[in-house]
Structure 1
Amino acid sequence: MVRKTKEEAEQTRKELIQAARRVFHQCGVSRSTLEKIAKAAGVTRGAVYWHFKDKAALFFAMREDVFVPMVERTDALLFSEQFTNPLDAIEASIKEFFRVLEDCSVVREVFEIMISRCEYVDEFASVQEDVARPAQTFLAKIEGVYQQAAAKGMLRPGLSPLDAARDTWAFTSGVLHLMLACQKGSDLPQRIPDMISAHMAMRRCVAP
């Protein structure tokens, strides 16, 4: 009986996260209420508070539900030993990120919510730093891999690992915003892998 109760509670939590994603995406975060989310999940507002202390907590749970598996997939490539050249690992990791974003509507919805459907004001004014933390973590990770490339003589001479990492961070962020804003039917998603390859080619050491 206890196991069943725990399983039911976990299922309710998952349904609340899914409902929050739908409501946030449809209404925008600031116009979404816990009442709307509870109704979409088919539960009472009290059930929402049993699992989450407020809307911000539910927002972060929704984000982590997508980010954790996404980071696991991209990090598996970024830190894989299958690549002799660390730059190949960066390229594969970024391509995997955009492939998942294109193939998985749930992942895309969460990024759309975070980028274009959330105003970081009022109760969300204090969470902007937490929202930005994954981007800072990404920057630190790729800087480390660029350092490995430099140590192996595979990074273009005169380009520091930190500058390379910042440029790749800005490039990835820009492509992400373009992808989320592109019109239906645009060929941008199909061009992104080549764009990533071109970006990384400019960082590679060319043998004499």
Structure 2
Amino acid sequence: MVRKTREEAEKTRKQIVDAARAVFHRCGVSRSTLEKIAQEAGVTRGAVYWHFKDKAELFFAVREDIFVPLLERTDSILFSEAYGDPLDAIQASLQEFFRVLDDCAVVREVFEIMILRCEYVQEFAGVQEEVNRPAIDFLAKIERMYVRAAERRTLRAGLDPFAAARDTWAFTSGLLHLALECRLEENLATNIGQMIVSHMALRRA
């Protein structure tokens, strides 16, 4: 009985998170209310409050729902021993990230919410540091890989690994905004893949 109750609670929580993602994406975060989310989920507002103390906590639950598995996936490539050259690992990890972004509508929706449909003001003014944490973590990860590339002499001579990491960090951020804001053409994923290859080629010894 306890297990069934726990499973039901988890099912309700997932309904609320899925509903919040849909409402945030459709209305924008600032115009979304817990009442709208409850209606979308088919639950009471009290049920929403039972699982989440406020809209900000629900916002982060929507993010973590896709960020955790996505980061596990890209990190497993980035730190894989299968790549003798750390630059190959960076390239493969970036390509996988954008492939998932292109293939998975839910992942794309969440990134559109985070970047295009949320104003970090009023009740969200204090959450931006936490929102930016994955990007800061990403920079630290690729710095490690560029340092390894320098040690293995696969990084172009004279190129500072930390400067190279920041350049790739800025490049990836720009590419992400481009992919979300400008759908460009149907073969966007192919174009992005080649752009990543070209970017990394400039860093190779």
Specify the TM-score bucket, using the shorter chain as the normaliser: over 0.9
Shift in Å, 1:144: 0.2
Aligned-partner residue type, residue 162 of structure 1: F
* Residues 22-52 of structure 1: per-residue CA shift (max 9 Å, x gap): 0000000000000000000000000000000
Contact 1:13/1:51, CA 8 A, preserved across alignment: yes
The 5 Å alignment of 1:124-203 reads 124-183=124-183, 185-203=185-203
Instruction: Please give the secondary structure, in 1, of the residue aligned with 2:126.
Output: helix
Whole-angstrom distance in 2 between the partners of 1:112 and 1:20: 14
Q: Give identity over the alignment, percent.
A: 70
Say whether 1:42 aligns with 2:39. Answer: no
Instruction: Give the match for residue 58 of structure 2.
Output: 58
Instruction: Give the match for residue 93 of structure 2.
Output: 93
Unaligned runs of 5+ in 1: none
* Residues 87-142 of structure 1: per-residue CA shift (max 9 Å, x gap): 00000000000000000000000000000000000000000000000000000000
Whole-angstrom distance in 1 between the partners of 2:72 and 2:53: 27
Aligned-partner residue type, residue 91 of structure 1: Q
Question: Please, which moves more after superposition, 155-164 or 71-80?
Answer: 155-164
Whole-angstrom distance in 2 between the partners of 1:102 and 1:162: 29
Contact 1:182/1:188, CA 8 A, preserved across alignment: no
Whole-angstrom distance in 2 between the partners of 1:136 and 1:181: 22
Instruction: Please give the secondary structure, in 1, of the residue aligned with 2:155.
Output: coil
* Residues 145-201 of structure 1: per-residue CA shift (max 9 Å, x gap): 000000001111111111011000000010110111123744332201100000000
Aligned-partner residue type, residue 70 of structure 2: M
Unaligned runs of 5+ in 2: none
Aligned-partner residue type, residue 107 of structure 2: V
Whole-angstrom distance in 2 between the partners of 1:160 and 1:183: 34
Say whether 1:111 aligns with 2:97. Answer: no
What is the alpha-carbon root mean square deviation over aligned residues? Answer: 0.9
Contact 1:66/1:107, CA 8 A, preserved across alignment: yes
The 1:45–1:177 alpha-carbon spacing in structure 2 relative to 1, beyond 3 Å, is same
* Equivalenced residues, count: 205
Whole-angstrom distance in 1 between the partners of 2:183 and 2:70: 24
Aligned-partner residue type, residue 143 of structure 1: E
Aligned-partner residue type, residue 130 of structure 2: D
Q: TM-score, normalised by structure 1?
A: 0.97
| Structure 1 stretches of at least 4 aligned residues deviating more than 6 Å after TM superposition | none
